Amino acid sequence: MKTFKIGGIHPAENKLSAASAIEVLGLPKQAVYPLSQHIGAPAVPCVAKGDVVKVGTKIADAGGFVSASIFSGVSGKVAKIDSVIDASGYRKPAIFIDVDGDEWEESIDRSENLVKECSLTPEEIVEKIKNAGVVGMGGACFPTHVKLCPPPGSKAECVIINAVECEPYLTADHRLMLEKPEEILVGVTLLMKAAKVEKGYIGIENNKPDAIKVMQEKAVAYPGIEIVPLKVKYPQGSEKQLIDAIIARQVPAPPAIPISVGAVVQNVGTAFAVYEAVIKNKPLFERIVTVTGKSVEKPSNFLTRMGTPMSQLIDAAGGLPEDTGKVIGGGPMMGKALVNTEVPICKGSSGVLIMNDKEARRGEERPCIRCAKCVSVCCMGLEPFLISTLASLNDWERAEKEDIVTCIECGSCQFTCPSNRPLLDMIRMGKSTVMGIIRARNAK
């Protein structure tokens, strides 16, 4: 069975909510939309205090080419444009909407029937995706239309759909594949058309045999789409690792991007969002969020309007357990511990993980014993013990030479370290510093 070549780990899967069907979550009292919930320039508000909005009304325009518009997921009145603490822990500007009823924009097709045909040209599809504010739903939130517009000189050869969901605990993509397989496949066809390619792969790890089976059965009717079962290994859901696993090509170091080797990688959730945006005229304002954890009463998958506070999801899953140690936005490997549970659901919020006290505690940090476990699990072929030390010594020049910027921050090194060293913490800080230095140098 296929997988990527270098490094990788296999943490306990803990897919507790895999059997829970997607439930529609009720509306919040107030929805909050941070203006920067994607990679690139923050969006610019196009509503003012007191404006009445419907579900699907655009509330903020993209702030540049690499940016995405934001749409309201609720109907009501704009209460204020103020700052809110988002998943990063810092205050960011956001639009607050007081919810009143549930009135949708008329242009959205709310029927459930599946439409397979689409007569739009590739350019029109990209335009529709752009106008619906679709971004990568896996968590990185890179604007989808940018990936579909290859820079001059590069040509896409295939579309790879990331249905790996290699993060432990999360099951949002898994449930989506089980419940909306045809919609996903139409979405993939649209993405293939937009990228002007004939071939599409959907990579699914083989810990989801039911999803593989459903997708394989349905994919027969869609020419050019191949379902690729993959061996379970973290971080297979990373773009570069997935390309390596499926088409055995390696993306060179930055500034090279996946398109340099002819691949356009999109998340399975994105494929579904593309289907809804292009066929149903529905902009991106809701998503599936997994709420899970060992002490959670009812691990669930919710179809949630964006802007809903995480506390509402937690309550719907049985409330915050007493032994809560950490609440994490995202999965246990790449997610971030939250400062409070009022953080709103954004485009990239794939899950809310509640860790109990015992699980959440970090082990005592001890000296490095040079076992090189971190080196053998690093999927980018780096030496985490070295680059984390260089970062802690502020030796940016050498850290750059040791390719700190190619780190994908998967956290495998820190996971595997027997001395509990905060390797990823240091590398993250070093990477952002070195990237700042490189940007400043290029700007000169």
Partner 1 sequence: MDLILVAVISLGAIGLIAAVILYVASKKFAVYEDPRIAQVAEVLPQANCGGCGYPGCSGFAEACVKAGSLEGKLCPAGGQAAMSKIAAILGLEAEASEPKVAVVRCNGSCENRPRIVKYDGARSCKVAHATSAGETACSFGCLGCGDCVSACKFDAIHMNPETGFPEVDEEKCTACGACVKACPRVIIEIRPKGKNNRRVYVSCVNKDKGAVAMKACKVSCIGCGKCVKECSFEAITVTNNLAYIDPNKCRLCRKCEAVCPKNAIVSVNFPPRKPKVETPAAVETPAAEAPKAE
Identify which of residues 85 and 378 has a Cβ nearer to partner 1 in the complex: 85
- Distance in Å, CB of 76 to partner 1, minimum: 23
Binding residues among 198-237 for partner 1 as defined by CB under 8 A: none
Q: Extract the runs of DSSP E, i.e. beta strands, from 86-152.
A: 91-99
User: Does 93 help bind partner 1 (rule: CB under 8 A)?
Assistant: no
Among 54, 428, 435, 437, binds partner 1 (CB under 8 A): 428
Please report whether residue 295 would count as binding partner 1 according to CB under 8 A. Answer: no
Report if residue 432 touches partner 1, rule: CB under 8 A. yes
**Among 66, 316, 386, 429, which residue sits at the site for partner 1 (rule: CB under 8 A)?**
429
Q: Considering the complex, what minimum distance in angstroms separates the CB of residue 361 from partner 1?
A: 8
- Give the SS3 label for residue 388: helix
d(C-alpha 206, C-alpha 194), whole Å? 29
According to DSSP H, which parts of 15-168 are helical? 122-131, 144-147
CB closer to partner 1 out of 89 and 101? 89
Instruction: Write the interaction track for partner 1 spanning residues 28-67; mark x where CB under 8 A is met and - where it is not.
Output: ----------------------------------------
Closest CB to partner 1 among residues 121, 340: 340
Angle at 64 between CA 63 and CA 69, to 5 degrees: 50
Q: Which residue has the tokens 């960011």?
A: 92
Buried (b) or exposed (e) across 142-170, using 16+ Cβ within 10 A? bbbbbbbebeeeeebbbbbbbbbbbbbbb
Please give the distance of CA 211 from its chain centroid, rounded to a whole number: 19
By CB under 8 A, residue 426 contacts partner 1: yes
Of 81-89, 213-221, 242-250, 287-295: span binding partner 1 (CB under 8 A): 81-89
| Of residues 174 and 431, the one with the C-beta less far from partner 1 | 431
Q: What are phi and psi of 78, to 5 degrees?
A: -70, 115
Contact region for partner 1 (CB under 8 A) — 11-19, 37-45, 106-114, 424-432? 424-432
Region near partner 1 per CB under 8 A, out of 83-91, 132-140, 222-230, 260-268:
83-91
Crossing angle of helices 268-279 and 181-194, in 10° steps, is 80
**3-state class of 46 per DSSP?**
coil
Choose between 122 and 422: whose C-beta lies nearer to partner 1: 422
* Nearer Cβ to partner 1 (79/108): 79
Contact window for partner 1 (CB under 8 A) among 223-231, 308-316, 347-355, 418-426: 418-426
Q: Applying CB under 8 A, which part among 63-71, 80-88, 258-266, 287-295 lies near partner 1? A: 80-88
Q: H helices within 152-238, ranges in order?
A: 172-179, 181-194, 209-219
* Residue 420 sits in the site that holds partner 1 (CB under 8 A): no
Question: Which DSSP category does 84 fall into?
Answer: E
Q: 30 or 432, CB closer to partner 1?
A: 432
Window 356 to 395, contacts with partner 1 (CB under 8 A): 361-362, 365, 392
Site pattern 323..342 for partner 1 (x: CB under 8 A) = -------------xx-xx--
Q: Are 7 and 241 in contact (CB under 8 A)?
A: no
Assess whether the previous peptide bond of 168 is cis (omega < 30° from 0).
Answer: no
58-61 and 91-99 as β-strands: parallel, antiparallel, unpaired?
A: unpaired
Residues 292-307: b if buried by 16+ CB within 10 A, e if exposed = bbbbbeebbbbbbbbb
For position 80 contacting partner 1 by CB under 8 A, the verdict is no
Residue ranges in 10-134 assigned as alpha helix (H): 122-131
Q: Which of 30, 88, 154, 376 binds partner 1 (CB under 8 A)?
A: 88
Q: Which stretch binds partner 1 (CB under 8 A): 22-30, 145-153, 195-203, 422-430?
A: 422-430
- What the block records as the tokens of 328 is 């994490």
> CA-to-CA distance for 170 and 121, rounded, in angstroms?
35
Distance between CA atoms of residues 210 and 317, nearest Å = 24
Which residues contribute to the site for partner 1 (CB under 8 A)? Answer: 83, 85, 88-91, 336-337, 339-340, 361-362, 365, 392, 422, 425-426, 428-429, 432-433
